C-alpha cells in the first residue's frame, strides 16, 4: 500500500539529543576515523560531520517510520542524504533540539520517495548544529504497482 | 593543508564492507535496518538479493576523506550524496573527490565512490571553508 501523502508537511514533536563522548568515539571507530580529536579525553574533542547520522537517521527517521498514519513498510533503501552545518562542530555535552518533518512524498515508477528534513539546533544558544535532508526510497509500494 | 586549486584531488579512502563493519556501523549510528545484517531479510528485500552496506557508511567514508582534506570538521559546511548503486557485503569501495570551484574562501568539491569493478556507487558534493 502506498504511503499516506496527507502526512506531507507533518512536523513531529522535537526530541532532545545529547552528544556524548563515548558515542562520538563509537561512531568515529565505526567509520574508521583516526583523527585523535574524535577520541580525545578533553575539550579538544569534536564530532565528525556525519555524526549527525546518529540523530537524523538513528532517531528522526525512526520517529517518522513509526508514525502509524504514514503507512511506512520495511522494504526501503536510502536514496540520498545531505547535511548543512552551522558555525561550529558538535562536541560532547552539546544538547540538541531536533525537529523532524516530512517534506515530500513522490511516486516514481513502482517506488515512492519520502523526503524527511531534520533541523538540529544547539539548545545553549539556539544556533544551527546541522540540518539534514534524507530521501528514503520505498520499494514497490507506489499506487498501481504489483508489490507492497 | 597544501595550497589547493580547482582540480586538486583529495586523498582517497577505501574500505571493505565486512559484515562485522556493518554490524558495528548499525550499532554506532542506530541505523538498524535489517537489510544490512539479516541475510534472510536481505534475500527478500535487497536490490542485490543479499546484504548491502548502509548508504550512511559510504557517506561517512567519503566525509572522512573530505574532512581530513579540509583540516577538520569546523571546515565542513555542507555534504550531499546520492547512493546510486548498492555496496554489496564483503566488497571494497573507494571514495574520493576533487575541487571544482573556489570563491570567497569556500571550495566546492565533487565527490565519488566506486565499487571494485569500477562502477560508481556514490555521487556527491561538498563545500568546505578554506
Answer whether A56's CB lies under 8 Å from A15's CB: no
Q: What is d(CA A134, CA A57) in angstroms, rounded to the nearest whole number?
A: 8
Nearest to A31 among B60, B72, B80 (CB): B60
Answer whether B98's CB lies under 8 Å from B7's CB: yes
**Does B55 contact A77 at a Cβ distance shorter than 8 Å?**
yes
Cell of A106: 513522490
Residue A148 pLDDT > 50, yes or no? no
Q: What pLDDT, in 10s, does the model give residues A68-121?
A: 999 999 888 899 999 999 999 999 999 999 999 999 999 999 999 999 999 999
Q: What pLDDT, in 10s, does the model give residues B34-47?
A: 999 999 999 998 88
- Which residues of B fall within a CB distance of 8 Å from A98? none
Q: What is d(CA B51, CA A85) in angstroms, rounded to the nearest whole number?
A: 31
- Which residues of B fall within a CB distance of 8 Å from A26? 27-28
- Which residues of B fall within a CB distance of 8 Å from A77? 35, 47, 55, 83, 86
Q: ipTM of this predicted complex? A: 0.94
Please indicate if any CB of chain A lies within 8 Å of the CB of B63.
Answer: yes
Amino acid at each position: 500500500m502506498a504511503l499516506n501523502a496527507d502526512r506531507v508537511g507533518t512536523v513531529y514533536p522535537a526530541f532532545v539529543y545529547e552528544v556524548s563522548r563515548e558515542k562520538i568515539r563509537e561512531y568515529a571507530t565505526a567509520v574508521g576515523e583516526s583523527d585523535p580529536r574524535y577520541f580525545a579525553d578533553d575539550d579538544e574533542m569534536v564530532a565528525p560531520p556525519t555524526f549527525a547520522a546518529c540523530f537524523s537517521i538513528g532517531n528522526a527517521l525512526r520517529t517518522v517510520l513509526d508514525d502509524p498514519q504514514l503507512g511506512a513498510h520495511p522494504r526501503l533503501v536510502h536514496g540520498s542524504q545531505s547535511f548543512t552545518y552551522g558555525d561550529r562542530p558538535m562536541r560532547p555535552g552539546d544538547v540538541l533540539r531536533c525537529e523532524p518533518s516530512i517534506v515530500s512524498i513522490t511516486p516514481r515508477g513502482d517506488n515512492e520517495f519520502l523526503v524527511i528534513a531534520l533541523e538540529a539546533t544547539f539548545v545553549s544558544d539556539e544556533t544551527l548544529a546541522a540540518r539534514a535532508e534524507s530521501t528514503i526510497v520505498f520499494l514497490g509500494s507506489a499506487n498501481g504497482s504489483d508489490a507492497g | 593543508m597544501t595550497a589547493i586549486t580547482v582540480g586538486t584531488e583529495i586523498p582517497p579512502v577505501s574500505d571493505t564492507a565486512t559484515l562485522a563493519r556493518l554490524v558495528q556501523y548499525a550499532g554506532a549510528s542506530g541505523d538498524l535496518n535489517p537489510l544490512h545484517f539479516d541475510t534472510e531479510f536481505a534475500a527478500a528485500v535487497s536490490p542485490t538479493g543479499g546484504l548491502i552496506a548502509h548508504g550512511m557508511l559510504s557517506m561517512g567514508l567519503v566525509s572522512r576523506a573530505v574532512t581530513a582534506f579540509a583540516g577538520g570538521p569546523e571546515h565542513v559546511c555542507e555534504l550531499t550524496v546520492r547512493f546510486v548503486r548498492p555496496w554489496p557485503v564483503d566488497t571494497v569501495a573507494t571514495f574520493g573527490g576533487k575541487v571544482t570551484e573556489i570563491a570567497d574562501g569556500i571550495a566546492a568539491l565533487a565527490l565519488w565512490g566506486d565499487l571494485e569493478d569500477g562502477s560508481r556507487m556514490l555521487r556527491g558534493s561538498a563545500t568546505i571553508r578554506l
